[in-house]
Amino acid sequence: MQVDLFDYHLPESLIAQTPLPDRTASRLLTLDKRTGEIGHHTFEQLERYLEAGDVLVLNDTRVIPARLFGVKADTGAKAEVLLLKQLEGDCWEALVRPAKRLKTGTVLHFGGGAPSEAGGDAEPPLLVATVESEGDMGSRALRFSYEGIFNELLDRLGHMPLPPYIKEQLPERERYQTVYAKHQGSAAAPTAGLHFTQDYLNRLEQKGIQLAYVTLHVGLGTFRPVGVETVEQHEMHEEYYEVSAETAELVNAVKRKGGRVVAVGTTSARTLETAAGEDGMLQAGSGWTGIFIYPGYRFRIVDALLTNFHLPKSTLLMLISALAGRENVLAAYREAVEREYRFFSFGDAMFIH
C-alpha cells in the first residue's frame, strides 16, 4: 500500500498556532464510519453522540518540559535536546540538534551562567549531559549528571516540546496538558484530550457515560515521519503503556453489556488495541508497544474515536483510515479544509462513530 495514498492538501494558514481560550470552544466534525456521512458541530455537542453505558477511555500521561537549550562544553556552541524517554536511571533517549556536531563523547551544559564582565568564571551548569551513543534520525543516548532532583531541574530549565509546525510561543504550560494529566513521561501531548474541561467531563458522567484511563507516554513515533514508499515498510518506535486492572474491568463490563468503547485520541486507541486479548477483552498490564494500525487492521476493542486532524501521510492518518475507511477519511478532510477547520495539535476535533 503506497504511503502517497494518505496525502492531502493543507493550506499552512489552517495549522492552529495557539490554543483557543476555552478548551471546549473548538469545532467538531463527525464522520459515520459505515456511511461516510459528515456532520459539523461544536465540541460541546459531542455529548449528543454519546450514550449512557458508553465508556470514554482517556490517556492520562503528562508532558514533561522536555526541550532543553544548552551549549557544548568545549566550544560554547548552542545545542538543543528533546528528551523522548528514560532508558534507565539518568540515561535518556533524545533528539538533538545539530545532530552532526553532537557525536559520542560530546558534553553539553544546561543552565550555567555566563562569565562575569569582571573576568570571573562562569557559574557551573545545573545539568550536564554526555552523549553515550548515536541512533538514527538525530537520536542520541544522553547520560545526565547534576545535584538535586532531576524533575525539579527539568521543570526549571525545560520548555514544553511543541511540535515543529507550531511557531508561536505557548502562553502557559498547562494549555499543552490535558486537565486529567497525571503520570509524567510524554514528549508530546495526547492532543484529542485537550478539548475537555473538568466541568464537561462531569457533565458526561452525569449523563451516564463512564470514564476510564490508560497511560501511553508519547515518544519518538510522534516525531518520526514515514520515510518509506509503502506503508508496510514503516517501523513504529516503541512507547511505554499501562492498563490498570480497574480500567480493564470497566471496559470489559461495558463491552459485555453492549456499550461502546470510545477512545479519546490515537494514543488511547493504540493502547487499547495493544492490550486486547484474542477474545476481544482488554487485559491489564504494562510494557512497550510498537503497534502500527493501518487499513486492513481489525479493531478488537475500539468502537469509536475522538481525535484531532492529522498530518498528511502520517501513521495517525493511517490509523483513523483503518477505522473509518481511507476514502471516507480523505473526503472528510477535504471538507474540513474547505470549511477552514483548524488543524493539528491546537486545532479542532473529529469524532468517528
The tens digit of pLDDT for each residue in 127-178 reads 999 999 999 778 899 999 999 999 999 999 999 988 888 988 887 889 999 9
Dihedral angle at the C-alpha atoms of 308, 33, 197, 157, nearest 10 degrees?
A: -30
Let me know if 168 is exposed, middle or buried by CB neighbors in 10 A (0-12, 13-18, 19+): exposed
pLDDT of residue 225: 72
DSSP-assigned letter for residue 326: H
Separation CA 258–CA 249 (nearest Å) = 14
pLDDT value, residue 116: 43
Give residue 199's region: left, alpha or beta (phi > 0; psi -120 to 50): alpha
- Across 11-19, average pLDDT: 96
Q: What is the pLDDT of residue 256?
A: 96
Q: What average pLDDT is seen over the chain?
A: 93
Average pLDDT of the residues in 292-321: 97
CA distance 46 to 229: 37
- Average pLDDT of the residues in 190-218: 97
Provide CB contacts within 8 A for 237, sequence distance 6+.
219, 220, 221, 224, 290
Residue 336: exposed, middle, or buried by beta-carbon count in 10 A (0-12, 13-18, 19+)?
Answer: buried
What pLDDT was estimated at residue 208?
Answer: 97
Q: Write a three-state SS string for 94-129.
A: EEEECHHHCCCCCEEEECCCCCCCCCCCCCCCCEEE
Widest Cα–Cα separation across the chain? 75
Per-residue pLDDT reduced to its tens digit, 222-261: 666 788 999 999 989 889 999 999 999 999 999 999 999 9
Dihedral over Cα of 28, 32, 35, 41: its sign: negative
Which contiguous run of DSSP H or E holds residue 320? helix 315-324
| Spatial separation of the C-alpha atoms in residues 41 and 326, rounded to whole Å | 22
CA–CA distance, 204 with 207 (Å, rounded to integer)? 5
The Cα 174–Cα 231 span in angstroms is: 35
Place of cell 469545532: 27
Asked if 57 and 72 count as a contact pair (C-beta separation under 8 A), the reply is no
Residue in the block written with cell 570571573: 120
How far is 266 from 317, CA to CA, in rounded Å? 10
Name the fold adopted by 3-63+170-352. Answer: QueA-like (3.40.1780)
Spatial CB neighbours of 347, under 8 Å, sequence gap ≥ 6: 14, 15, 16, 26, 308, 309, 341
Classify domain 67-159 at the CATH topology level. Thrombin, subunit H (2.40.10)
Tell me the domain boundaries of the chain.
3-63+170-352, 67-159
305 vs 54: CA distance, rounded Å: 12
Distance of CA 234 to the CA centre of its chain: 19
pLDDT of 30-73, one tens digit each? 999 999 999 999 999 999 999 999 999 999 999 999 999 999 99
